[in-house]
Structure 1
Amino acid sequence: MRDQTVDRSDLRGDCANCFGLCCVALPFAASADFALDKRAGTPCPNLQGDHRCGIHARLRQEGFSGCTVYDCFGAGQRVSQITFGGQDWRTGSRENARRMFDVFPLVRQLHELLWYLTEALTLPAARPVHADLRRLLTQTDALTRLTPDELAELDVAAHRQRVNVLLLRTSELVRAGVRGPKKDRRGADLMGARLKGADLRGADLRGAYLIAADLTGADLRCADLIGADLRDTDLTGADLTGAFFLTQPQLNAARGSAGTRLPESLTRPVHWTAGL
C-alpha cells in the first residue's frame, strides 16, 4: 500500500477512470440540491456515453448543486478498475452491473475511513495512538481489496465503529493541546446559528448541524469537524487552520471567501470566488 500519510491522491475522485458510478448507483430526490428524482441503479439523464456529465460546467445553474459537493474519496476508480477489473456496467451483464452498484457505496465508506485514518497519522498530538491507527489503516485498505462477493458480506458499520473509537481518541488528544475552555457541540443543532466571530478553537463539532449558520470570521483552529453538516454555512473570513477531519465535500457545500484560511490538504472551492 502506498504511504497514504504522505500522499492521499488515491483517495480523491478520478472521474476519468470511473464508469460514472456516482451518477448511476446512487439515488437522489428532487430538492434544492437536485432538479429531479432518480432511483438507485438508474443513470442520471445528464450522464453521457463516455461516462462524463453533459452539464458538468453548469451543474449549479441547472439545479444540481448536490453533485458539486459530492466526492467518492476515490472509490469510483477503485470499483471500476480494480474490484471489477475494468468491466463497464454498460457492456456487462445486468447482474454484474447490479453488483457493481451495490459495492460502490460500501467501498466509498471504506475510502472515507482511509482518509480520516491517514489524516490522524499526520497529527503529532495523536502519536500515542499512531501504532493502532496504522494497524486499522492496513486493515481498512485490505478490505477495499476484497472481491465483490466478499464486500457484499462485509459488516461495514461494525468496522466503522472500531475506527470511530480510535478517531475519538485522536480528537481528544489533539484538542487537549488547545489552551482554554473548549466548546462541546457534538451533534448540536446549530442550523442558522449566529456565530460570527465565535471562538471555537479546539471545539468538538462532530456531527453538528451547521446548515446556513453564520461563521464569518469565526476561529475554528484545531476544531474537530468530522461529519459536521456545512451546507450553506458561511465561512467567509473564518480560520480553519489546523481544523481536522474536515473533507473537501464539506467545504464544497459551504460558502466562503478568498480570506477563509483552510487546512493545507484541502482546496478552496471554485464557487467561493466565482460568485455561484
Structure 2
Amino acid sequence: MSENYDDPNARRDIHRTSLRPDCESCFGLCCVALPFAASADFAIEKDAGKSCPNLRSDFRCSIHKNLRQQGFKGCTAFDCFGAGQKVSQVTFGGTDWHEDAATARKMYHVFPIMLQLHEMLWYLTEALMLKTSLPIQGELRLALDETERLSQLDPEALMELDVPSHRANVNVLLLRTSERAWAESQHKSDKKRKRINRQGADLMGANLRGADLGGTNLRGAYLIAADLRDADLRAADFIGADLRDADLRGADLTESIFLTQAQISSAKGDAHTKLPHLLSHPTHWSVFGKKINKRTEK
C-alpha cells in the first residue's frame, strides 16, 4: 500500500478500495477458514478449515441472493476489511487452497491474522481522517505504516506474529483519538458534561429509545437487540460494540467513530437512520422497514 495518507481524499479512497472486501479477488476464505456455530446467524455449524456447503468451485456463494432467508444473516454482516484479497493475491501470490493441502492449512491460519491487521488499518485510517487527531497524526501514521508492513510479511512470519501486543499499542492511539473527538464535541456543544462510559456494558435488549448517548464510550458494549430508535449517538465510540439486531431506526450516528459496516449490517434500521459518511444503509434495512410498516398498518 503506497497511498498518500496525508491527503484526506486519498484516505477516503483507501477505505473504498484496499480496506473493503473484493470477493472477486479472493478464494472464498471467509467461507472456508473461519468456523461458525449453528445459531440465529448461521443455519448450520462449520469447523475452521472446512468449506461451507454453499461455496461453489468458483469460490462464489450458491445462495448469495438469499443468505438471510436461508438462515445465514451472519454472512451478510461479515466484513474482512480487504484481508481476503490480500491473503489470496499478495501473501500467497494467487495460489488458491485447492492446489495444495499444506498451502491450504497455512492460508487458513494466516487469514484470521490478516483480518485483525486489516481491521486495525481501517481504524487507523479513519483516525487519520479526523481533524481532531491532528496533534497525534504523526504517531498514527507510524502505527499505520508498521501495521501495513506487518500485513506484507510472508506466511511463516505472519503465523509467528504477536498480534495482541501490536493491537495493544494501536489501541492506545485509538483511545487518545477517541478522547480528542469527545473533547471537540464538547467544545462545540452548549451543554458541558462528563463523558458517559459504557465500555463493555451489558445493554442487551435495553430500552434506550430516544436516549442522549452522544459521545458515549460504547467500546465492546453488548447492544444486542437493544432499542436505540431515535437515539442520539453522535460522536459515540463504537469500537468492538455488538450491534446485532439492535434497532437503529431514526437514530443519529453521524460523527460516531470506529463504527464499521459489519456492525451496521448486523443491526436493524431504516431510511431515517443517519450514518457516518463512510458507511451505507444495508439493502435488508428496506425490507425490515416494509415489514414494520405492514405491522403498523394492521
- Report TM bin, short chain: over 0.9
User: Secondary structure in 2 aligned to 1:175?
Assistant: helix
1:252 is matched with 265
Shift of 1:274: 2.1
Matched residue, 1:12? 20
Q: For 2:183 and 2:36, locate their aligned partners in 1 and report how far apart those are by CA, in whole Å.
A: 40
Map Cα deviations across residues 194-227 of structure 1 (whole Å, 9 max, x no partner).
1111111111111111010000000011111111
Tell me which moved more, 174-183 or 38-47.
174-183
| Separation in 1, partners of 2:127, 2:148 | 15
Matched, 1:242 2:250: no
Instruction: Output the CA distance in 1 between the equivalents of 2:223 and 2:71.
Output: 22
Letter in 2 for 1:3: N
Is 1:201 equivalent to 2:178 in the alignment? no
Pairing partner for 1:217 from 230, 248, 254: 230
- The alignment of Structure 1 onto Structure 2 pairs a total of residues equal to 275
Q: Which runs of 5+ in 1 are unaligned?
A: none
Superposed CA deviations along residues 234-269 of structure 1, whole A, max 9, x for unmatched, are 000000010010000000000000000000001111
Aligned mates of 1:259, 1:35 — CA distance in 2: 31
Are 1:42 and 2:43 an aligned pair? no
Query: Which TM-score applies when normalising by structure 2?
Result: 0.91
Structure 1 residue 2 displacement after superposition: 1.7
Structure whose residues are more often helix by fraction: 2
Deviation at 1:3, TM superposition (A): 3.1
Q: TM-score, normalised by structure 1?
A: 0.98
Note the alpha carbon deviations across 1:67-103, whole angstroms, 9 max, x for none.
Answer: 1110100000000001000001112x10110001100
Matches of 1:131 and 1:209, distance apart in 2: 33
Q: Does 1:109 find its partner at 2:110?
A: no
- The counterpart of 1:274, out of the listed 270, 284, 287, is 287
Inter-partner Cα distance in structure 2 for 1:3 and 1:119: 14
C-alpha distance in 2 between matches for 1:51 and 1:57:
15
**Structure 2 unmatched runs, 5+:** 6-10, 187-191, 292-298
Aligned to 1:231: 244
1:25-68 residue CA offsets vs partner (Å, 9 max, x unmatched): 00111111111111110000000010000000000110111111
Structure 2: distance between partners of 1:271 and 1:22: 21
Distance 1:130 1:66 in 2: 35
Do structure 1's residue 157 and structure 2's residue 164 form an aligned pair? yes
Aligned position for 2:294: none
> Structure 2: how far apart are the matches of 1:122 and 1:61?
37
Question: What fraction of aligned residue pairs are identical, expressed as a percent?
Answer: 60
Query: Does 1:85 find its partner at 2:60?
Result: no
Counterpart of 1:208, as a letter, is: A
* Root mean square deviation of aligned Cα: 0.9
